[in-house]
Structure formats: structure tokens, C-alpha cells
Amino acid sequence: MKYAVCALALAISGAATAATEQDQSSSAVLLQGFHWHSHASDWYNTIQNNASSVSNLGATHVWFPPASDAASDEGYLPRQLNNLNSKYGTGAQLSAAIGALSANGVKSIADIVVNHRVGSTNWADFTNPTWGSWAVTADDEWGQGTGAWDSGDPYGAARDLDHTNQTVRNDIVDWINNTLKGVGFSGLRFDYSKGYAPGYAGEYADRTNVDFCVGEVWTDLNYNDVDSHRQKLMDFVSGTNGSCGAFDFTTKGLLNQALSFNEYWRLANNGAPAGGIGWWPQKMVTFVDNHDTGPSESCGNGQNHWSVPCDKVMQGYAYILTHPGIPTVYWAHVYDWGLYDAVKAIIDVRKAEGITSTSSVDIQAAESDKYAAIIDGKVAVKIGSGAWSPGAGWTVKASGNGYAVWSKDSGCTSGCGEEDWQRTVIFVYGTTESGQDMFIRGGLDHNYAAANLGKNCTSSNYECAIPIRHNNMINATTVPWKANEQYLDWYGVESGQSSAAEGTPADWTVDTWPSDWGATRTVAADGFGEEPLNLWGAHYWMLDVEMDCNRTANGWFELKTYISNGPGWEADVSQPDAPYASGNHFAECGKINVFRRSEGNPVSIHSF
């Protein structure tokens, strides 16, 4: 599928100058801080007065409505960009609302409309900043635009802007840097992102150094071709060079169908989530409904363009608040529909158990009447009318009509206690032929762990396994083997992992891609190939993960490699200065570890 050859790499985030929530394993929870009718009230004061409540809910970021002067009440027909007096309140009230949230530890996201703009008195007399017909695309309905052709879909209600024009781009950057960030905004939500090439959104995010970036790529969903829909989300993200995420409209549409027609089976695809979070969860921002798709103050009013059934909204939240991606909570649901406590209960579980945008999902059931999954091995969720339970050793933490959320009981024998997640990279040199791949197994030696660490390690309790989260999830060959893998372990296939996996898969890398090999392939863009961390040459297979260093032996762990379809296991090695006797390589958690198959001396073990 096309997804595999797009620039979809977690490692790509290093290429962007902005350190956003989408660049990391994020614990953020976004609150959409308005609905379609919010402009009719003293809205900024409403946000300010609820700042403490927002923080208590568990939201880390609030998405504001468009802040600039506009021809429409809702703000989506921007007029004077640098005038922050709108139907929602004055610029001073906006600043006060953002300040109140900040005082409560909550950041603020600006909704920016850069696809189109209206004039002050007619179609295109743009002021503040002042632009001419050169700022309008040549194919705009106005018929008088003298700019370049539109790089995206048209928008009929206003003039489509020419983002190839340097003045337009510079003025947008100045507006974000000086006007919006000047009142305290730290992140961006791009409206109507399909209206222009995604590279411009990436440029605006990079040049303004924002800490949160998400685009609205809302396209028609054909339920018989879901992959094409989520591919468009991937294309937008990779088009921004990984600087921005995207709202997961695929997951939204699948939830609509599952909840409306008891088609919960739609939420699974080859053992993984069927929405955008099944392909690139780190970059996905999930939601149940928003100001466009759903009702506002009550069921039946507002936009209602593509809403979930009103009586099943909490099932939607049980799903997105326990799954990877950055979840979004809708203001109307928690403050107008009376769902504050129910939503907060699930957010509390998410935060207590450390569920993040990159958490793993082990789907237990996806049938007509129910969907069930276990996330990171410590949170279980069931939605739908069908019966399901994770079994003994779990406690229900939140439940309601058609949903339940459990967490693992305290006193578990594996994966408990304080965690210390650090990026850890392993390179192992090994030559291969077509059809051969390198896998890694590892963890702690069972005898050493029993004698020195008080562990009784088995394949059922995984006490000698090391929890991991894969950073590279785009190599077409290895992604299916990485799905639902939670440990570097000695035991082979984990529950939910592909039966074809011979352990933890590594990705082939080279320091410099030779020109006579054809088009350059890179780990950042393709999941394999040229890699900046590789300083040693071709055939260095790379494992790039977040690892829980608290599960190692004073920072050390063992590993051994296996090459499929031929060479098999490497020979035992004797590594000098190893922390204890073993026939395996020893690597350090939180560092770059470089080895050669069947050779005892490591090439290098060094910090990032």
C-alpha cells in the first residue's frame, strides 16, 4: 500500500525545527474550547472562568476558536488578521483567558485560517495586512486573482490565497509570531488543510517554533476503501515533513459507523486499529465530535454534519481516551451535556497508567456487538452491548451505558512500579540477501535475574523482558511484525504480534546511499536506508525504541540476533567488561549501541 513509501517516520520529527507534541510520545489531552454557537456569548470570559475546571478535567491544551476579526460570526472567514477583536470577545479578554489557563498549567492552541480570506468591504480589499490581487490564486472564483494556481482544493466562500507568494507567507508568519504568540498562543490548528499544499503548513509551524501542530484534512470516507482515506492523513503529515499531525478523521468515521450500526468490527484491521492511529499514532489527534461534525449545546442543534449517536458519545470517549494518538474532548460534551465527570474518570485512568500517543494496542474482540482491547498491557476497554471482560487481576475504573474501562490491579508481577522511558538504539552489522531480515531477542538472563534481582522469569510473566515502544513504524516490511509488540524478550511472538516475527524486527541502514542504487531511501522517509546515526556503513541493522530502563540490570540488557531464511542465530560472544557472564551482547539502555554479529567487542556504546 502507498502508506509504506510516504515519508512516514517517527524519526522524521528530528528534521523539523519545532518541538511539538507530535514529535514525541505525548501524554497531551486536547480540549476543543468552543462549539458552533460559542460566539453568541461572552466566550473568552467563559473560558477564563473555567480555567481551573479545565485543568482539573485533565486537559493539557485548549483549542480556541479563530481569534482574528472575521466576516462570519464563527471566525472562519478571516478579514483583518492582526485585529484580535472578534465575536468571541476582545483581544484583551482573549489574553486574559489564555493567561488564566497558563496559570493552571494549560497551553493554548490557535485556530488559524490561512487557506482563504475576505476583504474589508468587497471581495479582495485586504487590509491589516494589506494585500492585492497578487495574493489571490489565478483559478479563484473571483476571476481577478493574479497569483499562481491553487495548490489544493478550492473554497468558494472567500478568496483562495496564493501560498507561493513570499509576501503572503511572511505576513502569515509575522501574524503567528507577533500577534497570536504575542497574546500567549503556543500551538496551531490549521483549518481546511486540504485547501493548500501541506508543505506550507509545515513551513509556518517550523518558522514559528510552535509546540503543537495539527491540520484538518476532512475528506469523504468510502467505507469500502478505508485505507485510501487514512492515506490522505498520512500524506498531509509527511507533506509537512512531519512537523504537523492531523485530526484522525478516519477513526472518527469508523466510530460513527460502529456506534450507529453495531459494526464494531470496523475498528480493527489486521490486528491493529483501523483508523489513522493504526498507521502513525504519534501524529494523529483523535476526536468523537467537533464544532462541525456534531451538535453544540444539546443533541440536535449546531452543525451536525457527521455526528456519532448522541446516546453513544461516551462509548466514543472510552475508545479515544484509552487508545494511542492525542485525544480531543469537546467543550459541549463536558460542559453542556453533563459528561464532565464521566469523561474525567477515563482521562484519570489514561494519566494514571501512562497511556500516550504511541501506546500499543492488543485488540481482543472486534465483532458486530463489541470491541475490546488491552492497551500497553495495563488498561482494558470494552465498548458495545456485547459481554467481555479482561478476566482476573483487573479493576473497573470507569463504566457506563455500553462501555467499561479497567486497569491492572496493583501487585502485578511484571511491568509495575516507576518507569524510566529512554530512547535506545541498537545497530548490529550483518550481511543479508534478498528475503532475509534481522530480528533481535533479548532481556535479562534468567539465572542472573533469579540470583541477583529476585526475579522468577518465565514466558508468562515477562519479568526478564524489557518494555519497548517502537519509534520507526513505517518500513513496509517490518511494520506488520512490530504491531502490538511490547517487549524486547527471549520468547518469540507476543500476543497480538504477527506469527511471522522471529523476535523484535530491525531495519536495514547505511551511512550514505550510493547514487548507483537509484532513488535515495532514508529511515526518515522510508523506514530503512540512509540514517544519520549510522556512522559505520552498509548492513548495520537498526532497532530504534523507547525503552523502560528501570527494567534493565543497572542499565544493562542482553541481546542476540537472528537472520531469517538462512543464517539463523549468531554465534555466542564474550563481551569484554560485561556486567555478568553471558554468551550474548550487552547493551546500555538510553544509549546508541553498535555491534557486529558473532563478535564480542562492541563497535561503540555511546550517548546520543
pLDDT by residue (tens digit) across 349-408? 999 999 999 999 999 999 999 999 999 999 999 999 998 888 877 888 898 889 999 998
- pLDDT band per the 50, 70, 90 thresholds, residue 442: very high
pLDDT value of position 410: 55
Cell 556486567 identifies what position?
Answer: 579
Q: Which range among 168-172, 177-181, 490-494 shows the weakest confidence by mean pLDDT?
A: 490-494
Q: Which range among 17-21, 121-125, 317-321 shows the weakest confidence by mean pLDDT?
A: 17-21
- pLDDT band per the 50, 70, 90 thresholds, residue 466: very high
Helix-, strand-, coil-residue percentages of the chain, each rounded to 5: 25, 25, 50
**Nearest-CA neighbor of 218 among 296, 305, 157, 123?**
305
Reply yes or no on whether the pLDDT at 14 is more than 50. no
What is the average per-residue pLDDT within 470-475? 91
Question: Cβ neighbours of residue 581 under 8 Å, at least 6 residues apart?
Answer: none
Give dist(CA 52, CA 70) in Å, integer.
29
Q: Which of 111, 191, 376, 546 is catalytic?
A: 191
- pLDDT band per the 50, 70, 90 thresholds, residue 12: very low
Query: Which amino acid type is present at position 211?
Result: D
Q: Which of 111, 150, 162, 216 is catalytic?
A: 216
Are 233 and 254 within 8 A, CB to CB? no
Reply yes or no on whether the pLDDT at 197 is more than 70. yes
- Any catalytic annotation for residue 150? no
**Alpha-helical regions (H) of 88-244:** 91-103, 166-174, 198-208, 226-239
Reply yes or no on whether the pLDDT at 558 is more than 90. yes
Q: What share of the chain in percent tops pLDDT 70? A: 96
What is the average per-residue pLDDT within 69-83? 98
pLDDT value of position 436: 95
- pLDDT band per the 50, 70, 90 thresholds, residue 18: very low
Phi, psi at 490, each rounded to 5°: -95, -5
Spell out the domain ranges in the chain: 2-6+22-114+163-375, 421-606
Cell 554468551 identifies what position?
Answer: 583
Q: In the structure grid, which three cell numbers stand for residue 225, read together? A: 476503501
Reply yes or no on whether the pLDDT at 575 is more than 70. yes
Which residues share a beta bridge with 245? 214
- Crossing angle of helices 166-174 and 198-208, in 10° steps, is 40
- Any catalytic annotation for residue 216? yes
* CATH number of the 2-6+22-114+163-375 domain: 3.20.20.80
pLDDT value of position 453: 77
**Nearest-CA neighbor of 440 among 430, 455, 454?**
430
pTM for the full predicted model: 0.68
Reply yes or no on whether the pLDDT at 5 is more than 50. no
**Nearest-CA neighbor of 286 among 274, 297, 296, 300?**
274
